[in-house]
């Protein structure tokens, strides 16, 4: 439903007011993020647009003098002026173009920074929402497919500067064309002096000048018309041929199943750029027709301009030098006007894409950030209470958690168990305040956690998520989660997490790069080693609460036993929450919470729960234990 709403909105009427408002907002984004980019385009555009007109004016004077008086002094002056100004302006234009190109080269990274900052600043609940991911995907697809959105504004700005300067310069050079009269005795050419005829010629020229770019804009509107239909195909096409080939984590599966995943039939079925796609059909039909007609109209204007200038020259209005000046200037004027009109039309076509951009950037943060400070040195420790907490994920009708009430004391070791989909991870997300409860409240030392300063509350937790990620940076930086590393502390945390033997074998110790994305001497690590590094990262943060979601899933039984045996020593007096499918790990915890279908159904120690033969914990324990029993 949301996708269809976006599609209908993108095709709705676009007003000039909305086009101007969104374009100005977009330029404001670039102004804040990279002012030098806009300045380089402005200065370079002005200088480079004026350069050819200076040459045209001087060349016309030189030709007139050659065809007329042939004064050696004037000829020498014009030649030197033409050569020197052309050289100086060309060098200046080249230097400015290089400066501009350096700034434009940062375009992708600057835009990526804008969207990344938004993602990092928005509520996790929103970032995790499918609608937000859809918006984000559409923005990138629009950029990749046609440079639409914020990208289009930069190239439109460059075109506007160039076209406006060309129009101003060309008008200055062509004004006298309509003022200088045909000399008496020119017969029928005298009509060229009549004001009505001059106005008619100007009107025809402007009409043709406007018609060509409008036709081109009409052709470009088909990109907007079929943008929604192209989204899925373009996304899948890029994923198949780009992402799958570059993603090391998927390399094994791609090689095993690529005959099906990358089949030609699938690519043909979803590829929007094949001959049978709607866009391709439009290109062969009306889209191509409008573009061809635009080119034809432009050539008609060129022919009309040549004829008009030639007739006035034939009537004695000016000499051959002015012919060169006027013909060049009129064509440049037409090109400038056409570029300006086409650019304004493209800005209008770009408006639906900017709607998507600002729908994403304007998303407000709904979570209360709180202002109550947390006593980081509380002598009584921390106590967390879930009080009648229920939660639904956005857009879902069923509860992921239902009426959960429990208290978790400082220094406690709590194991959270249950089958897949029982609500364990949701419980952790609510505890860490990645989401707020739909109903009920979570209290820290008797105060609703929504009243606490959000960043301070987040600092209370060190978490190893089940799908944790390591970055392709140095080992020490991965442990510290920062470019600044306390080397002694990082070393100790790695050894506490069971990574000491491998650490001693690494060629550069904590400075060793993980993976080879940025360093050819980087090392690949196994899943179990990665899990130990993630555990070391949680220890390094030294937060009051440590939450481990399947912390030993990738470890062999011996390594798992060693980790859990040292757990009390590693964690010390901190509070710890373990989520695990291996119930053997629960024996290291003094408290176990059993979740089922979103509800907390049992709680107690291992011995208490396993003694209840009718309980869910006994069922889970027995299901695993039977594989370790030896039959007589």
Residue 86 vs residue 293, higher pLDDT: 86
591-596 and 599-604: which strand pairing? antiparallel
Classified as helix, coil or strand, 523 is strand
Read off the pLDDT of residues 208-237 as tens digits, 9 standing for 90 and up. 666 766 666 666 666 666 666 666 566 666
Range of weakest confidence among 60-69, 154-163, 247-256, 305-314 = 247-256
pLDDT reported for residue 5: 45
**What are φ and ψ of residue 373, in 5° steps?**
-75, 150
Res. 391 pLDDT band, cuts 50 70 90 = very high
pLDDT of residue 485: 92
**Better pLDDT: 564 or 500:** 500
Task: Round to whole Å and give the CA distance between 425 and 430.
Answer: 9
Q: How many CB atoms lie within 10 A of CB 360?
A: 20
Task: Please compute the mean of the pLDDT values over residues 429-440 and round it to a whole number.
Answer: 92
- How do 439-444 and 401-408 pair as beta strands? unpaired
* pLDDT of 8: 45
pLDDT computed for residue 2 by the predictor: 44
| pLDDT for 313 | 79
Across the range 127-132, mean pLDDT stands at: 83
Tokens 């025809």 belong to which residue? Answer: 204
**Backbone conformation region of residue 158, classed left if phi is above 0, alpha if psi is from -120 to 50, else beta:** alpha
Average model confidence (pLDDT) for the chain?
80
Q: What local confidence, expressed as pLDDT, does residue 6 receive?
A: 43
pLDDT band per the 50, 70, 90 thresholds, residue 9: very low
Q: Sign (positive/negative) of CA torsion 272, 278, 284, 289? A: negative
Q: How far apart are the first and last CA of the chain?
A: 60
Vertex 622 angle, CA 619 and 624, to 5°: 110
| pLDDT at residue 238 in the model | 60
- Domains of the chain and CATH, by start: 16-361 (1.20.1560.10), 382-460+547-558+575-627 (3.40.50.300), 468-542 (3.40.50.300)
Cα–Cα distance for residue pair 629/632, rounded to 1 Å = 10
Residue 114 confidence (pLDDT): 92
Closest listed residue to residue 189, CA positions, set 304, 318, 312: 312
Question: pLDDT confidence of 404, banded at 50, 70, 90?
Answer: very high
Which of 208-222, 294-308, 562-576, 585-599 is most confident? 585-599
pLDDT of residue 10: 47
Q: Given this model, what pLDDT does residue 209 score?
A: 65
Tell me if 577 sits within 8 A of 547, measured CB to CB: yes
H helices of 106-238, in order, are 107-121, 124-127, 130-146, 150-179, 195-225, 227-238
Check residues 505 and 627 and name the one with the higher pLDDT.
Answer: 505
Burial class (CB in 10 A: 0-12, 13-18, 19+), 12: exposed
Least confident of 31-35, 197-201, 533-537, 609-613: 197-201
pLDDT at residue 614 greater than cutoff 70: yes
The answer to whether residue 426 scores a pLDDT higher than 80 is yes
3-state secondary structure of 579: strand
* Of 353, 423, 442, nearest in space to 9 by CA: 353
pLDDT at residue number 401: 93
Measured CA distances, 88 to 85, 93, 165, 433 (Å): 5, 8, 19, 63
Beta pairing class for 591-596 and 413-417: parallel
Give the three-class secondary structure for 514. strand
- Tokens in use for 472? 């392709």
Nearest residue to 149 (alpha-carbon basis) of 187, 175, 110:
110
Answering whether pTM is above 0.85, one says no
Q: Which of 87-91, 196-200, 257-261, 618-622 has the lowest mean pLDDT?
A: 257-261
Q: Is it the case that residue 3 has pLDDT exceeding 50?
A: no
Q: For residues 11 and 293, which has the higher predicted lDDT (pLDDT)?
A: 293
Report the range of poorest mean pLDDT among 382-391, 409-418, 473-482.
409-418
Q: What is the pLDDT of residue 231?
A: 60
Interval 59-88 mean pLDDT: 81
Task: List the 401-408 sheet strands across, edge first.
Answer: 401-408, 384-391, 439-444, 447-448
pLDDT score recorded for residue 271: 60
Which tokens is 412 given? 């406690």
What are the beta bridge partners of residue 447?
444
Q: Residue 395, SS3?
A: coil
CA distance 89 to 246: 45
Q: What is the pLDDT of residues 154-172, one digit of tens each?
A: 999 999 998 888 888 888 8
The token pair that represents 519 in the structure block: 């360093």
Task: List, in sequence order, the alpha helices (H) in 240-285.
Answer: 244-246, 251-261, 264-270, 278-284
Distances (CA, A) of 331 to 53, 206, 210, 298, 328: 12, 12, 13, 10, 5
Question: SS3 for 123?
Answer: coil
Rounded to 10°, the helix 16-33/150-179 angle is 110
Residue 244 predicted with pLDDT over 70: no
pLDDT for 259 beyond 60: no
If one compares 334 and 545, the residue with the highest pLDDT of the two is: 545
Highest mean pLDDT pick, 112-126, 137-151, 551-565 = 112-126
Question: Which token pair is 562?
Answer: 């060693």
Cβ atoms of 572 and 545 closer than 8 Å: no
Which residues have a Cβ under 8 Å from the Cβ of 22 and sit 6 or more positions away? 351, 354, 355, 358
Helices (runs of H) and strands (runs of E) counted in the chain: 26, 10
* Cα–Cα dist 452/372, whole Å: 4
Which tokens sit at 465? 């998520």
3-state class (DSSP) for residue 7:
helix
What pLDDT score was predicted for residue 194?
72
pLDDT at position 1: 39
Beta-bridged to residue 408, according to DSSP, are 384
Between 39-53, 268-282, 459-473, 581-595, the lowest mean confidence (pLDDT) is in: 268-282
The pLDDT value recorded for residue 603 is 92
H/E element, 430: helix 424-431
Instruction: Kindly tell me if the per-residue pLDDT of 390 is higher than 90.
Output: yes
pLDDT given for residue 275 in this prediction: 64
User: What is d(CA 596, CA 583) in angstroms, rounded to the nearest whole number?
Assistant: 15
**pLDDT bucket at 70, cuts 50 / 70 / 90:** confident
Between 185 and 446, the higher pLDDT residue: 446
Q: What per-residue confidence (pLDDT) applies to 4?
A: 42
Do 272 and 234 touch, CB atoms closer than 8 A? yes
Q: Is the dihedral of CA 234, 235, 240, 241 positive or negative?
A: positive
Is the pLDDT confidence value at 380 over 70? no
Q: Are 382 and 460 in contact (CB under 8 A)?
A: yes
- If you compute the radius of gyration of the chain from its CA atoms, what whole number of angstroms results? 35
Pairing of strands 413-417, 575-579: parallel
pLDDT grade for 475, boundaries at 50, 70 and 90: very high
Looking at residue 479, its pLDDT comes to 94
Higher pLDDT, 378 or 246: 246
Whether residue 303 has pLDDT greater than 80: no
β partners of residue 603:
593
Q: What angle do CA 66, 68, 74 make, to 5 degrees?
A: 60
**Residue of 616, 624, 623, 622 lying closest to 594 (CA atoms):** 616
């Amino acid at each position: 439903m949301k996708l269809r709403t976006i599609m209908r909105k993108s095709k709705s009427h676009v007003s000039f007011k909305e086009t101007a408002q969104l374009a100005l907002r977009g330029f404001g984004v670039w102004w804040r993020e990279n002012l030098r980019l806009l300045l380089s385009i402005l200065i370079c555009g002005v200088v480079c647009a004026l350069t050819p007109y200076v040459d045209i004016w001087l060349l016309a004077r030189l030709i007139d003098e050659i065809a007329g008086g042939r004064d050696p002094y004037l000829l020498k002056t014009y030649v030197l002026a033409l050569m020197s100004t052309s050289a100086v302006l060309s060098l200046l234009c080249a230097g400015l173009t290089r400066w501009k190109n350096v700034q434009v080269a940062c375009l992708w990274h600057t835009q990526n920074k804008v969207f990344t900052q938004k993602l990092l600043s928005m509520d996790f609940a929103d970032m995790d929402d499918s609608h937000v991911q859809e918006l984000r995907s559409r923005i990138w697809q629009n950029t990749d497919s046609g440079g639409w959105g914020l990208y289009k504004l930069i190239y439109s700005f460059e075109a506007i500067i160039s076209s406006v300067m060309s129009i101003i310069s060309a008008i200055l050079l062509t004004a006298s064309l309509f003022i200088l009269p045909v000399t008496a005795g020119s017969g029928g050419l005298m009509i060229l002096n009549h004001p009505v005829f001059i106005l008619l010629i100007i009107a025809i020229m402007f009409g043709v000048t406007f018609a060509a770019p409008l036709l081109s804009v009409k052709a470009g509107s088909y990109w907007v018309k079929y943008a929604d239909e192209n989204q899925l195909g373009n996304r899948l096409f890029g994923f198949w041929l780009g992402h799958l080939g570059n993603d090391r984590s998927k390399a094994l599966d791609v090689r095993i199943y690529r005959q099906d995943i990358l089949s030609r039939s699938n690519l043909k079925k979803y590829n929007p750029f094949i001959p049978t796609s709607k866009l391709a059909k439009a290109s062969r039909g009306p889209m191509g027709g409008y573009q061809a007609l635009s080119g034809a109209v432009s050539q008609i204007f060129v022919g009309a301009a040549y004829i008009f200038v030639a007739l006035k020259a034939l009537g004695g209005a000016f000499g051959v030098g002015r012919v060169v000046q006027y013909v060049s200037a009129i064509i440049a004027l037409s090109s400038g006007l056409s570029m300006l009109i086409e650019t304004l039309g493209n800005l209008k076509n770009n408006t639906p894409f900017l709607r998507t951009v600002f729908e994403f950037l304007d998303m407000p943060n709904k979570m209360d950030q709180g202002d109550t400070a947390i006593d980081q040195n509380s002598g009584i420790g921390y106590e967390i209470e879930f009080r009648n907490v229920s939660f639904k994920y956005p857009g879902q009708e069923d509860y992921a958690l239902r009426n959960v009430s429990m208290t978790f004391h400082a220094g406690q070791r709590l194991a959270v168990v249950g089958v897949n989909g029982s609500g364990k991870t949701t419980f952790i997300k609510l505890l860490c305040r990645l989401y707020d409860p739909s109903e009920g409240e979570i209290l820290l030392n008797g105060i609703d956690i929504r009243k606490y300063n959000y960043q301070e509350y987040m600092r209370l937790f060190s978490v190893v998520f089940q799908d944790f990620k390591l970055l392709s940076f140095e080992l020490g930086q991965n442990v510290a989660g920062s470019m600044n590393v306390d080397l002694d502390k990082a070393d100790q945390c790695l050894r506490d997490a069971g990574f000491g033997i491998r650490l001693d074998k690494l060629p550069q110790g904590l400075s060793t790069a993980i993976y080879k994305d940025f360093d050819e001497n980087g090392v690949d690590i196994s899943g179990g080693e990665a899990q130990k590094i993630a555990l070391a990262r949680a220890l390094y943060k030294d937060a009051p609460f440590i939450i481990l979601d399947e912390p030993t899933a990738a470890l062999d039984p011996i390594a798992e036993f060693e980790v859990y045996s040292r757990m009390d020593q590693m964690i010390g007096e901190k509070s710890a929450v373990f989520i695990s499918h291996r119930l053997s790990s629960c024996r290291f915890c003094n408290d176990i919470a059993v979740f089922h279908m979103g509800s907390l159904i049992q709680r107690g120690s291992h011995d208490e729960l396993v003694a209840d033969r009718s309980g869910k914990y006994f069922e889970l324990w027995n299901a695993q234990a039977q594989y370790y029993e030896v039959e007589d």
